[in-house]
Amino acid sequence: MRVARSVALDDVKIEDIEDPVPGDDEVVCDVLACGVCASDVTDWYVERKLPAVLGHEPAGIVTAVGDGVPDVSEGDRVVIHHHSPCGECRRCRRGHETLCERFRSTQLDPGGFAERLRVPADLVSELLPLPDGLEPAAATMVEPLACILRSQDRAGLRPGDGLLVVGAGVNGLLQIAAAHARAVEAVWIREPRADRLALAEGLGAERHGNELVDVAVVCTPKADAIADAAAAVAPGGTLCLYAPPAPDGPPL
Ligand SMILES: [Zn+2]
Ligand SMILES: [Zn+2]
Q: If you measure from the C-alpha of residue 200 to the centroid of ligand 1, how many angstroms do you get, rounded to a whole number?
A: 21
The confidence score (pLDDT) of residue 249 equals 75
Tell me which residues have their CB within 5 A of the ion that is ligand 1. Answer: 37, 39
Backbone angles phi, psi at 53, to 5 degrees: -90, 105
Chain Cα centroid distance, residue 5: 20
> Is pLDDT at 144 greater than 80 in this prediction?
yes
Q: Give the residue-averaged pLDDT of 77-99.
A: 94
Q: Which residues pair with 118 in a beta bridge?
A: 28, 109
Q: If you measure from the C-alpha of residue 104 to the centroid of ligand 2, how many angstroms do you get, rounded to a whole number?
A: 10
3-state SS class at 120 = coil
> Is pLDDT at 92 greater than 90 in this prediction?
yes
The confidence score (pLDDT) of residue 114 equals 98
Q: If you measure from the C-alpha of residue 226 to the centroid of ligand 1, how many angstroms do you get, rounded to a whole number?
A: 20
Q: If you measure from the C-alpha of residue 37 to the centroid of ligand 1, how many angstroms do you get, rounded to a whole number?
A: 4
Q: If you measure from the C-alpha of residue 212 to the centroid of ligand 1, how many angstroms do you get, rounded to a whole number?
A: 30
Point out the ligand nearest to the CA of residue 122.
2
Q: If you measure from the C-alpha of residue 34 to the centroid of ligand 1, how many angstroms do you get, rounded to a whole number?
A: 11
Hey, how many other C-beta atoms are within 10 angstroms of the C-beta on 246?
12
> Is pLDDT at 101 greater than 90 in this prediction?
yes
pLDDT category of residue 74 using cuts at 50, 70 and 90: very high
Measured N-to-C along each axis, helices 170-181 and 194-202 cross at an angle, to the nearest 10 degrees, of: 20
Distance CA 115, CA 109 (A): 11
Point out the ligand nearest to the CA of residue 146.
1
Q: Give the residue-averaged pLDDT of 68-89.
A: 95
Point out the ligand nearest to the CA of residue 244.
1
Distance CA 24, CA 153 (A): 36
Q: Average pLDDT over the chain, rounded to whole? A: 95
Q: Give the residue-averaged pLDDT of 14-20.
A: 98
Q: If you measure from the C-alpha of residue 106 to the centroid of ligand 2, how many angstroms do you get, rounded to a whole number?
A: 12
pLDDT digits (tens, 9 = 90+) for 23-52: 999 999 999 999 999 889 999 999 999 999
pLDDT digits (tens, 9 = 90+) for 217-247: 999 989 899 999 999 999 999 999 999 888 8
Distance CA 158, CA 75 (A): 40
Q: Which residues pair with 28 in a beta bridge?
A: 64, 118
Residue 12 identity (one-letter amino acid): V
CATH number attached to the domain at 146-241: 3.40.50.720
Instruction: For domain 2-140, give the CATH superfamily.
Output: Medium-chain alcohol dehydrogenases, catalytic domain (3.90.180.10)
Task: Quote the percentage of the chain above a pLDDT of 90.
Answer: 90
The confidence score (pLDDT) of residue 48 equals 92
Show me where the domains of the chain are located: 2-140, 146-241
Residue 44 identity (one-letter amino acid): W
Q: If you measure from the C-alpha of residue 57 to the centroid of ligand 1, how many angstroms do you get, rounded to a whole number?
A: 7
Point out the ligand nearest to the CA of residue 91.
2
pLDDT digits (tens, 9 = 90+) for 173-225: 999 999 999 999 999 999 999 999 999 999 999 999 999 999 999 999 898 99
pLDDT digits (tens, 9 = 90+) for 20-31: 999 999 999 999
Residue 186 identity (one-letter amino acid): A
Q: If you measure from the C-alpha of residue 83 to the centroid of ligand 2, how many angstroms do you get, rounded to a whole number?
A: 11
pLDDT category of residue 61 using cuts at 50, 70 and 90: very high
Point out the ligand nearest to the CA of residue 86.
2
The confidence score (pLDDT) of residue 109 equals 96
Distance CA 56, CA 35 (A): 7
Backbone angles phi, psi at 149, to 5 degrees: -60, -40
Using CB atoms within 10 Å of the CB of residue 76, give its burial: 0 to 12 exposed, 13 to 18 middle, 19+ buried. Answer: middle
Q: If you measure from the C-alpha of residue 240 to the centroid of ligand 2, how many angstroms do you get, rounded to a whole number?
A: 23
Distance CA 106, CA 97 (A): 13
Hey, how many other C-beta atoms are within 10 angstroms of the C-beta on 18?
7
